[in-house]
């Protein structure tokens, strides 16, 4: 039996807005020097994965991360708007501490009851998950590659992993935390079974 296909999900490196604790969403931020150093550590990890194909969110921070991580792969990077982070509407660009004070109910929902989060002009967590899974399934249907890398964002990656393990979106923020430049891997077997083998650089148990 041939080996399973693998999806390797990579979060972008630290950005200036991560450092400032500012809501990013789909607005643009750039990698800090620490973020670039995180991305520079990726090639040593990725070299053993035999990546055949690379997809990337069209956001600047993911493009910067992918350019560093795959500088020596010689593969084209395919950018996709559907792999961008949650659209946070009026929150984007604002400090989280200010949002906590100005939107106490929505802020609490975002972090503690994410399945109930509703904000005018923003996506819900369910909408992000649907967008992410639709794009992932399209990639899998159209590609014959064995090892596919996707460079994206913390929440979007967590919604994909939640779907694979059938974890309710109410629990999407539960550990493991999705730190900057974390790598997660999904194995896709020929019988259609999918399981997470690596979650934010941590070996992960099989999901029944």
Residues in the annotated binding site for substrate: 11-18, 61
- Is 85 among the residues known to form the active site? yes
Catalytic residue of the set 8, 64, 85, 153? 85
Separation CA 83–CA 131 (nearest Å): 8
Beta bridge partner(s), residue 57: 80
Long-range CB pairs of 44-52 (<8 Å, 24+ gap) are 45/183, 46/8, 46/70, 46/73, 46/149, 46/183, 49/6, 49/8, 49/147, 49/149, 50/146, 50/147, 51/8, 51/75, 51/147, 51/148, 51/149, 52/145, 52/146, 52/147, 52/148
Residue (of 106, 66, 101, 104) closest to 83 by Cα position: 66
Catalytic residue of the set 8, 12, 64, 92? 12
DSSP secondary structure of 72-112: TT---EEEEGGGSPPP-GGGTTSBHHHHHHHSHHHHHHHHH
Binding site residues, as ranges? 11-18, 61
Q: Are 43 and 23 in contact (CB under 8 A)?
A: no
List active site positions.
12, 85
């Amino acid at each position: 039996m041939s080996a399973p296909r693998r999806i390797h999900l990579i979060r972008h490196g630290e950005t200036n807005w991560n450092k400032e604790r500012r809501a990013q969403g789909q607005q643009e931020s750039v990698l800090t020097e620490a973020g670039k150093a995180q991305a520079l550590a990726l090639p040593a990890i990725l070299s053993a994965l035999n990546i055949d194909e690379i997809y990337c969110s069209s956001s600047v921070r993911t493009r910067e991360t992918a350019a560093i991580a795959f500088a020596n792969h010689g593969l084209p990077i395919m950018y996709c708007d559907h792999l961008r982070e949650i659209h946070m509407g009026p929150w984007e660009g604002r400090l989280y501490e200010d949002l906590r004070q100005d939107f106490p109910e929505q802020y609490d929902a975002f972090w503690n009851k994410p399945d109930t989060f509703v904000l005018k002009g923003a996506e819900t967590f369910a909408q992000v998950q649907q967008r992410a899974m639709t794009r992932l399934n399209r990639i899998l249907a159209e590609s014959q590659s064995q090892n596919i890398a996707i460079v994206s964002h913390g929440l979007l990656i967590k919604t994909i992993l939640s779907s694979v393990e059938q974890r309710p979106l109410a629990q999407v923020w539960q550990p493991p935390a999705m730190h900057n430049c974390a790598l997660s891997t999904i194995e896709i077997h020929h019988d259609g079974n999918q399981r997470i083998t690596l979650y934010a650089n941590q070996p992960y148990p099989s999901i029944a």
